[in-house]
Amino acid sequence: MTEAAPGAPVPRTRGFAIAAVALAAVAFSLNGFFVRNLEAATTWQIVFWRATGLCLAVGVMFAWQHRGRAAAVFRQGLPIALVAAPTQGVGVVLFIYSLTHTTVANTMMMLSATPLFAALLGWAFLGEKVGWATAAAIAATMAGIGLMTLDGIAGGSLWGNLAALGNAATFAIFITYLRRGRGGDMRPTVILGAATGVVLAALVGEGIAATPWHDIVLCLAWGAFAQTAGMTLMLIGSRGLLAAEISLVAMVEFVLAPLWAWTVTGELPTPLSAAGGGIIFAAMLGWSWRRARLHRSIPLRPTGT
């Protein structure tokens, strides 16, 4: 591993890193729960207030941890942040749009393809080879996505499904860039990504100031607590785990999110969507398990403070 930036948290054991990523997945799985408890907020209103909460919370944590060196550390992460942050911002918009235009289960099933998109990007831009297992998983995932797309056409949720698929692609781009800067503090990317979402919502959205107070408070809490906790834990855990191990542990999110939605609204996927999602989940689980086995002998060697 590359040397950590001063003040950047690094997990001391593999078990700690696994626990951090698992807890991050639990935090992210609450996204659908928050959306289904909103009263009247539109997609752009949700994006604006949620991103505001995330930007402020992560920014305060970053400034407090680095204190007098915050500006210098921020500049160190700026080259990657300027490229990756807009991708995160667009991804946030696609994610919220998907949650408000299809079921939580459909959104999560589509997003479970993210690690495979990351593998393709790694092959295309980082020279990482794609083996037969990855190719097979990609084929199975495409079949599952095809079933869900057909279901979306029939059920009127096509654009919500496609938005989730777009979010999977943008998030894969985002984490590909994070890999290149994992030796330093990557929170500037999170801060600028959230700020991008705020600016997009302010420029394109309408009636931001007219958001009901109930929804403003809920979205701010969503960003400041659930999203901030998830992002922080994911960054910590990713410094001590291989990409295959991260994708395996992160499957917790895709299992829990539909369950939270079911407890609130009784929302369940259609049989065709469930079949497609099952194929995607099985492909991702098998691929992640194989990748983790191939690299299980590589020891965790944390560095820095």
- Does any domain span residue 139? yes
Residues 80-131 have pLDDT tens digits of 888 888 888 889 889 999 988 888 778 877 877 777 787 778 777 767 666 7
pLDDT for 219 equals: 97
Q: Alpha-carbon distance 115 to 81, whole Å?
A: 20
Q: Alpha-carbon distance 160 to 178, whole Å?
A: 27
pLDDT for 243 equals: 62
- Does any domain span residue 2? no
Residue 296, number of CB atoms within 10 A of its CB? 12
- Does any domain span residue 88? yes
pLDDT for 148 equals: 74
Residue 252 sits in which domain range? 14-294
The per-residue pLDDT string of the chain (305 residues; one tens digit each, 9 = 90 and over) reads: 333 444 445 455 677 887 888 899 899 989 888 988 999 999 999 999 999 999 999 999 999 999 889 999 999 988 888 888 888 888 988 999 998 888 877 887 787 777 778 777 877 776 766 678 777 887 887 788 778 777 766 666 788 889 999 998 888 888 777 767 667 788 998 999 999 999 999 999 989 999 999 999 999 999 999 999 999 998 888 777 666 567 667 777 776 777 787 777 677 777 887 788 788 878 877 877 776 676 554 444 433 33
pLDDT for 301 equals: 44
Backbone angles phi, psi at 300, to 5 degrees: -85, 125
- Does any domain span residue 87? yes
Alpha-carbon torsion angle 41, 44, 49, 53, nearest 10:
130
- Does any domain span residue 180? yes
- Does any domain span residue 198? yes
- Does any domain span residue 246? yes
Work out how many domains the chain is built from and give that number. 1
pLDDT for 57 equals: 97
